[in-house]
Amino acid sequence: MIQRMRRTVSDLHAELVRYDLVAWTAGNVSGRIPGEDLFVIKPSGVSYDELGPENMVLCDLDGNLVEGDHSPSSDTAAHAYVYRNMPEVGGVVHTHSTYASAWAARGEAVPCVLTAMADEFGGEIPVGPFALIGDDSIGQGIVETLKGHRSPAVLMRNHGVFTIGKDPRAAVKAAVMCEDVARTVHVARQLGEPLTIAQDDIDRLYDRYQNVYGQRSPR
Ligand SMILES: [Zn+2]
């Protein structure tokens, strides 16, 4: 199971590159080992073309290294905090993707003005607090913002995107969709004020999408 998750998490890092969500060594994906207090995450400071299942790092839910030749990503504490406090989460992704991070730099939530946003996020993509790396502040900010929120993505203020999912693939999908809608709504803003979608319609779209695809565990 650990070996399979090393492969999955390693492969998913290629999706961050494919969708142009990361620069240099920024960004990371992690995946919880089902039924264990363990998760697999990217090693710190290793370039994307050198990533493989063998250099992924296994950590416990306090973020301590359990198995691996490299030190874990510098964002490991944030991932660990999310896994400790959101037992339904099986995957976490972090990026500094351009358009979403531009909204984060302004501390502005992406308003729900596209049906694709209603489907995937069930409303706006919220902003989390400003938090410095080094302790649990980033993890706390993510959990405070996303607990009880439909959105699987949070824009951490002045920083970037964290997404969650039932597994790492769902979290990567949320990161890709987050950047996509952040870009579209940004472009829409250039020539005017995007039209809002009625809350009723947002609710209907979200319910339908979640039931049809059945991909999100309740939270
Ligand atoms: Zn970051």
Answer yes or no: are the C-beta atoms of 178 and 163 closer than 8 Å. yes
Q: What's the CA gap between 92 and 119, in Å, rounded?
A: 20
Question: How much distance in Å is there from the Cα of 161 to the middle of ligand 1?
Answer: 8
Residue 60 bears catalytic tag: no
User: Which residues have C-beta within 8 Å of that of residue 195, sequence separation ≥ 6?
Assistant: 113
Answer yes or no: are the C-beta atoms of 80 and 63 closer than 8 Å. yes
Tokens representing residue 135 in the block? 């302790």
Phi/psi at 88 (5° precision): -80, -10
Count of beta carbons in the 10 Å neighbourhood of residue 1: 10
Question: How much distance in Å is there from the Cα of 28 to the middle of ligand 1?
Answer: 9
Q: Give per-residue pLDDT as tens, 36-76.
A: 999 999 999 999 999 999 999 999 999 999 999 999 999 99
Nearest to 80 by CA among 44, 131, 32: 32
Question: How much distance in Å is there from the Cα of 211 to the middle of ligand 1?
Answer: 33
Domains of the chain: 1-212 (3.40.225.10)
| pTM of this structure | 0.95
The yes-or-no verdict on residue 219 having pLDDT over 50 is: no
Q: Give per-residue pLDDT as tens, 161-196.
A: 999 999 999 999 999 999 999 999 999 999 999 999
The yes-or-no verdict on residue 142 having pLDDT over 90 is: yes
